[in-house]
Amino acid sequence: MKKAIAIILAAILVLSLILTMILQSGVLYR
């Protein structure tokens, strides 16, 4: 159970990082 929670948290962190990178790059290009 703990492993699943850790994997989910890691996935959320990675997704949030990717989203911030995309948003920042989009703002820079505009």
Give the Cα separation of 21 and 29 in Å (integer).
Answer: 12
* Helical H segments across the chain, by residue range: 2-29
What are the extents of the domains in the chain? 1-30
Tokens 């948003």 locate to: 23
pLDDT class of 30 with cuts at 50, 70, 90: low
What would the pLDDT profile of 12-25 be if each residue is shown by its tens digit? 999 999 999 999 88
Half-sphere exposure of 11 (CA within 13 A, CB side): 6
Count CB atoms within 10 A of the CB of residue 12.
10
Q: What is the mean pLDDT of the chain?
A: 91
